[in-house]
Amino acid sequence: PRGVPIQQNQVRIAKFLHGHRDQILALYEGKIGLKQLKSLHLAFHDSEKRRLEESFQRNQPSPINFHSSGVNALHHADKKTDDLASGFPVDMTSRSSLGIFSPATNIDCKVMYFCQTIKLFAKLCTGSNKVTETICSRLLPLDRCLTILTAGYFLPEAKIDCLQYVYHCFIDVEKSAKHSAEFTHNPDVWKIFEYFSNCINVLSDPYTDISFCSPKKESEAVSRQIVSAFLPIVKAFYAEYYRKHRADNHEIIISDRLCDSLVRYFNETKSASERIAIADALEIMERRLVHGSDVTTHRKLRSLLQGSKMNSATKVYEQKTHLDFEEKILSLFPAFQASFRSRINIEKELAELVEVCRNYPRTITVIISQLTSPDVESDLKSVYVRTIKILWTTISTTLALSECISFIQLHALIPSIFALVAQGKGAIVEQGLQLANHLLKNGDIEVQEHFRNALK
């Protein structure tokens, strides 16, 4: 109703659902209910398979494919029908007009109704509403969420909505000392983390056969949507609950494995938004002394976080003056400088730092600006030169020449090389000349033109 505060309306709906749960909700409680849910979802998979076969025989596109066409079909339906938000059951057969189920079957309706119920619970708990959190946690407890997230037969739609529900109902809440202690050490929480750690660790590995859903495996795009829904839980849990000195050995091991998985996933993903979300979660984990299970992970973690910080700091360069840019990065650059300094004469670590530069292109802006700075020592400038050299070699094998020139910011790099040679002394001058030769050695006309323009 108009004029009613959102939280008050959430409470009204939650109390109504709880009071009429037998008439309205289909939560499939207990072991018997779980068996029914499994049967429904497996029957749905069979129904979808038959639809695909019939569609193929008719040489027409299939009306629904949760796993390959994405999980947005149901979300699209939400925008067209908001019946469930009012607390009343939806006439599922009317959904066939939206092109989701054709024809609508009793199995399809029951599966969809269950998914929409989870979505509704997540919305009722949004905004740290203590009353609705209490009601919903009784209707859909955490142990049932564990089953939904880890059992393969549940649809990706259900898993994504369940992750959002876990975040709003159990994590993003008003915390008491008792709740924090109980939730931090809840075995179900750590089972969820362990499960996602294992899945994420091999998600991008082409030689493994694993997915979040079965028997019909979801597409890679849908898998990434599930991971994206999981990342806010990681960030909030390690920020608000986890403290290493209070964790037991099993929790520490799972945390380190999760860190390993996220670092590996960061290096595999091509999405800038995913990298930002992963870096945000890993930054919180690093603050909580979660560094991974070995030295290599810790080293990579340090590199990508430094790159992430510099990338965020240098975004202002595109909008503000050079002076504002320099003032902004001064607060973050010492740590980034130290990260470079530790990599002198360590080719393996230098290569990892190059990977950070590829993921965070604005980091290159910082490196170029420091090549001619009188406050930067020669040994550090030497590392910068080597980084650019390795980076050029790496990207030139995978990108077109025009993309390489843009990525390496050649228009700004060449004048910095000239200034470095003119102002420098000793070995750094030779290294600057070697970098120039390295850029020119393939005889690319576009590169030569940039050098010619810089000499004018």
- Residue 95's pLDDT band, with cuts at 50, 70 and 90, is very low
Residue 71 pLDDT > 80, yes or no?
no
- Residue 353's pLDDT band, with cuts at 50, 70 and 90, is low
Residue 200 pLDDT > 50, yes or no?
yes
Task: Give the tens place of pLDDT for each residue, 381-400.
Answer: 887 888 788 788 878 887 88
**Measured distance CA(71)–CA(287) in Å, rounded:** 34
pLDDT at 145: 95
- Distance from chain centroid for Cα 84: 29
Nearest to 410 by CA among 390, 388, 386: 388
Q: Residue 71 corresponds to which tokens in the numbers above? A: 């999980």
Hey, how many other C-beta atoms are within 10 angstroms of the C-beta on 86? Answer: 11
- Residue 103's pLDDT band, with cuts at 50, 70 and 90, is very low
- Residue 339's pLDDT band, with cuts at 50, 70 and 90, is low
Q: What is the three-class DSSP state of 259?
A: helix
Task: Based on DSSP, count helices (H) and strands (E) in the chain, helices before strands.
Answer: 23, 0
Residue 366 pLDDT > 80, yes or no?
no
Q: Residue 443 corresponds to which tokens in the numbers above? A: 């005889």
- Distance from chain centroid for Cα 456: 46
pTM: 0.66
DSSP designation for 217 = P
Query: Do the beta carbons of residue 80 and residue 98 sit within 8 Å?
Result: yes
Q: 368 Cβ partners below 8 Å, 6+ apart?
A: 409, 412, 413, 416
Nearest to 113 by CA among 126, 125, 99, 100: 100
pLDDT at 94: 36
Query: Do the beta carbons of residue 161 and residue 115 sit within 8 Å?
Result: yes
Task: Give the tens place of pLDDT for each residue, 5-52.
Answer: 888 888 888 888 888 888 788 888 888 888 888 888 888 877 777 776
